[in-house]
């Protein structure tokens, strides 16, 4: 026996202001069987016409992404790809800059880092830190490595969210003798933030007119050596290659 379904009309064609959480829920709904959650996100998506309700004659109800919802998802994916591309370009430029400065450089590492205890005398905490760029001096003396962390941000919302993560910043400071925030520019060419917004324990670089400018130097911590676990992770990872003959065009990159 074939069941008959009733499609309830969707909301207006002009969506309200939607967040990343709305886009994430819409993607999850597109990949799922469409069972409703009946929460605030779902109400917003229904009111915006991005979801529609389908009621079976047996009484159960499911949700389906509308054509408008698919258009919204496509636009969201396009923005995410563009942001990832800009992020990767800036990460590559900073990494190449560190290599040209004679430092051994890695991208996308996962390093075990120590966090301060939550209470006086409490247990030490550990976490996995994933700096965009991590580099050390090219030296055979362990005390002279001077580790540096660079965290790259190309979207203001990402920057503001990241600045609230005190544990993440503490992990970077534990790993690096210096920690820098490198802030990209928006579509109008203006930096997505300024040095006053970043805590003073970190340095700040800004991308202005396709050039990197130091807005505030990074304080150098007392750390000069690295724990054995970090050395082991570095030994397993492949550092960023130096400039080869085919890479000479990079010398014209204005970010270097």
Q: What is the pLDDT of residues 87-108, one digit of tens each?
A: 888 999 999 999 999 999 999 8
Token pair for residue 49? 């016409």
Question: Cα(37)–Cα(29) distance, rounded to whole angstroms?
Answer: 10
- What is the domain partition of the chain in residue ranges? 5-65, 87-240
pTM across the whole model: 0.66
pLDDT at 256 over 50: no
Do residues 204 and 198 lie in contact, with contact meaning Cβ atoms separated by under 8 Å?
yes
Confidence of residue 22 (pLDDT cuts 50, 70, 90): confident
> What's the rounded mean pLDDT across residues 12-28?
74
pLDDT at 14 over 50: no
Confidence of residue 245 (pLDDT cuts 50, 70, 90): very low
| Topology of domain 87-240, CATH | Trna Endonuclease; Chain: A, domain 1 (3.40.1350)
What sign does the CA torsion over 215, 220, 225, 229 have? negative
Question: Cα(159)–Cα(182) distance, rounded to whole angstroms?
Answer: 10
pLDDT at 29 over 80: yes
pLDDT at 56 over 60: yes
In the chain, what percentage of residues exceed pLDDT 90?
39
> What's the rounded mean pLDDT across residues 141-163?
92
Q: Which of 3-7, 166-170, 188-192, 215-219 has the lowest mean pLDDT?
A: 3-7
Question: Cα(127)–Cα(192) distance, rounded to whole angstroms?
Answer: 28
Confidence of residue 250 (pLDDT cuts 50, 70, 90): very low
If one counts every other C-beta atom within 10 angstroms of the C-beta of residue 25, the result is 20
> What's the rounded mean pLDDT across residues 155-181?
91
- Between 43 and 176, the more confident residue is 43
- Determine the pLDDT at residue 242: 66
Question: Cα(203)–Cα(217) distance, rounded to whole angstroms?
Answer: 5
Mean pLDDT of the chain: 83
pLDDT digits (tens, 9 = 90+) for 188-242: 788 899 999 999 999 999 988 778 899 999 998 766 678 888 999 999 999 998 6
Find the Cα–Cα–Cα–Cα dihedral 43, 46, 52, 57, rounded to 10°. Answer: 40
What sign does the CA torsion over 24, 26, 30, 36 have? positive
* Phi, psi (degrees; rounded to nearest 5) at 3: -80, 145
pLDDT at 248 over 60: no
Find the Cα–Cα–Cα–Cα dihedral 186, 192, 194, 197, rounded to 10°. Answer: 170
């Amino acid at each position: 026996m074939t069941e008959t379904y009733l499609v309830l009309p969707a909301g207006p064609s002009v969506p309200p202001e939607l967040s990343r959480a709305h886009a994430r829920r819409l993607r999850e709904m597109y990949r799922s069987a469409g069972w409703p959650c009946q929460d605030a996100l779902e109400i917003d998506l229904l009111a915006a016409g991005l979801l529609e309700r389908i009621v079976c004659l047996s009484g159960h109800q499911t949700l389906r992404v509308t054509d408008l919802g698919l258009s919204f998802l496509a636009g969201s994916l396009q923005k995410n790809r563009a942001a990832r591309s800009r992020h990767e370009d800036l990460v590559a430029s900073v990494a190449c800059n560190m290599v040209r400065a004679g430092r051994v450089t890695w991208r996308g590492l996962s390093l075990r880092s120590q966090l301060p205890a939550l209470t006086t005398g409490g247990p030490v905490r550990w976490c996995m830190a994933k700096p965009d760029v991590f580099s050390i001096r090219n030296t055979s003396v362990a005390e002279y490595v001077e580790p540096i962390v660079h965290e790259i941000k190309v979207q203001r919302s990402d920057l503001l969210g990241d600045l609230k993560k005190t544990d993440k910043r503490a992990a970077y400071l534990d790993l690096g003798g210096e920690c820098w925030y490198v802030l990209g520019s928006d579509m109008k060419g203006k930096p997505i933030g300024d040095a006053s917004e970043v805590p003073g324990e970190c340095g700040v670089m800004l991308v202005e007119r396709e050039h990197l400018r130091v807005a505030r130097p990074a304080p150098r911590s007392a750390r000069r050596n690295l724990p054995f676990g970090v050395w082991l992770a570095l030994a397993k990872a492949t550092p960023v290659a130096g400039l080869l003959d085919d890479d000479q065009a990079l010398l014209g990159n204005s970010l270097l």
